[in-house]
A and B are shown apart, each in its own frame.
Chain A
Amino acid sequence: MADLLILPVLVPLLGGLLATALPVRSALVGTLAALATSLSGLGITLLVWLHGDLGTVLGGWGVPLGIGLSADGLSAALLAMASLVALAISIYAGSYFAGSAQARHFWPLWLLLWSALNGVFLAADLFNLYVMLELLGLSAAALGALTGKREAIAANLRYLLVGLLGSLTYLLGVALLYTAYGTLDIGLLGERLGPTPIAATALALMVSGLALKTALFPLHFWLPPAHANAPAPVSAALSALVVKASFYLILRLWTELFAPIADIGAATLLGLLGAGAVLWGSWRALRAQRLKLLAAYSTVAQIGYLFLFFPLLASLPPGTARDDLFAACVLMALTHGFAKAGFFLAAGLVQRKAGHDRISELGGVAQRMPATTFSIALAGSALVGLPPSGSFIGKWVLMRGAFETGQWWWLPVTVLGTLLAAAYVFRVLSRAFGLEPTPLQFVTNARSEIPALLLAFASVALLGLAAGPVWAILGFGAAPA
């Protein structure tokens, strides 16, 4: 049964190869492969839900040489989010790229990206994580430059170089760990690792390399141009999924591998960078002239919130309060995945229909595209953290944790970030209405509008009203009332 772990990596890889071999049929092959990948990812999540953690070593080789895969609650939660979001992006892309020459390049790269993403979530050793991260970075940069426009290529060239630097820094940390402890398996390393200088150096190298890839302030400079200039389905995938992969890795390494040395001082540094990201990202989103640039800066801010959890996690002993904080952090990451994907897909539709995405000239979009505007509003309310969205619960637990641990200084950051987020979301919505007559149709283009709408709806209702399963799959008790 654990052998099934290979499917979420293998299916999109084979689908991508097939889409390369059959360029004329790439959209059909790609859509079918996307469906199969999504089902396999959800299947693994179900298996983890029913039977607990899974682990396997491929090809019958032992642990040092064989490729180990494993899935626990954290991987399963992110795998499920990625499966649903990527399926919605695939359906949207089928309509977005219909009749365009970009389709035959999109599908192979997109399936390769998906394969690498699932590989990051499922890999059990540090070196395979490096290979998967590199594959993710290469396919993401190639996808981002798909339009062939000068700005897009320049931004994604920079993204590619930054990603390569981040991976290399991570790899140097892996080399140090192998020198000191003689293994690359995350579980074994976690048992052996002690508070030594070499482990501290490895922590600094690996986390800074990954922070560069996840665009933690002030290493976020590459993200806004790269995400804002990509085609809409690619922007959604980059913002919702690709930055989450390196964040997932930081969270896992920090809490499992480096627990003996990741003390409150190091965690506070991450928290401070997160606070900077929340304030600076939200401010730049408020000042952005273009809808997609606004969404990209909002991603910088939302990544910042996730890092505010680290100092609180470090100062709490293991117990219910710490479990709640951990689950709330994961819940915020999942909510942002759904909300930002929905936001970018809807922004892409606006850009297609209006021919631009300048926020000041969006008047009348609400009447011309009611479902799309509704998606932006729903996803926006999840970005702000209005109830009942998942990020409302996340921020609630975050602020409660800040009270309980006496670290009150994270409270004004959260409040100010929320206010700024409300300002930038309502700035878009207030411009979207015009004096045009309201049409009779709510949905104007079902195949591209419904995926965006469903994603936005999931971020608000599915994760907010039904947050319990996130706690359950992470192996914790009931969600906080």
Chain B
Amino acid sequence: MSAQFLYGGAGILLFALGLWSLLVHEALLRKLIAINIAGGGVFHVFIAIAYRGDTAPPDPVPHALVLTGIVVAVSATALVLALHRRLEQAEESAADAEGRSESASASSAAPPPRTPTERTPTERTPTELTPADLTPADLTPETLHPETPHG
């Protein structure tokens, strides 16, 4: 019985940790990991409630639910990662368009969310690379995660 409570209690704790981390952290990858940890906590609770003593076999229903839940969690994680990849691509192309119009520092749109060391000459021609792109002011969190005008 105490093992069951320990396992179930650890599940609730994991859920709370994941929830806290999801709300506190800004970076998307951290949010995604946090939500997976919270989900793992819920699955722990389901596994704990399947226990029916040392002699009786465990209740199969919660196990079936956890298997389904894992499939859902994996697909959701994949979709979040795919959307994040698309978001990065959209931001890069927006930043490239920005660079061509030579008004990067004046406009509200974000410059590319990359550090200067990641830039390679093949990605941007030297004419497009202006000194304004490399100023530290462009790399503040505000410019990396622009608010939508109506957020």
Contact = CB atoms under 8 A, between A and B. Distances in A.
Given A148-B90, A171-B69, A178-B49, 15 more contacts: A65-B64, A141-B79, A142-B79, A157-B80, A157-B83, A160-B76, A160-B83, A161-B31, A165-B22, A168-B15, A172-B15, A176-B45, A224-B150, A225-B150, A228-B150
B20 to A, nearest CB: 12
A155 interface: yes
Interface of A: 64-65, 127, 130-131, 134, 138, 141-142, 145, 148-151, 153-157, 160-161, 164-165, 168, 171-172, 175-176, 178-179, 184, 221, 224-225, 228-229, 288-290, 293
Interface string B62-77: 1011001100100110
Contact of B80 (A127, A150, A160): A160
B48 to A, nearest CB: 9
Chain B interface residue number, banded: 35 or more
**Is the contact region of chain B dominated by helix, strand, or loop, or is it mixed?**
helix
Given A168-B39, A225-B148, A293-B150, A153 B83 contact: yes
Contacts of B76: 134, 138, 160, 164
A478 to B, nearest CB: 43
Interface in B8-33: 15, 19, 22, 28, 31-32
B6 interface: no
A150 B46 contact: no
B64 A172 contact: no
A161 B22 contact: yes
B87 A168 contact: no
Contacts, number: 94
Contact of B150 (A175, A176, A288): A288
B86 A153 contact: yes
A156 B83 contact: yes
Given A131-B72, A161-B22, A150 B15 contact: no
Nearest to B61: A64
Contact of B38 (A130, A165, A290): A165
Interface in B64-112: 64-65, 68-69, 72, 75-76, 79-80, 83-84, 86-87, 90-91, 94
Contacts of B83: 141-142, 145, 153, 156-157, 160
Contacts of A155: 148
Given A134-B72, A172-B15, A153 B61 contact: no
B73 to A, nearest CB: 8
A410 B72 CA distance: 40
Contacts of A229: 148
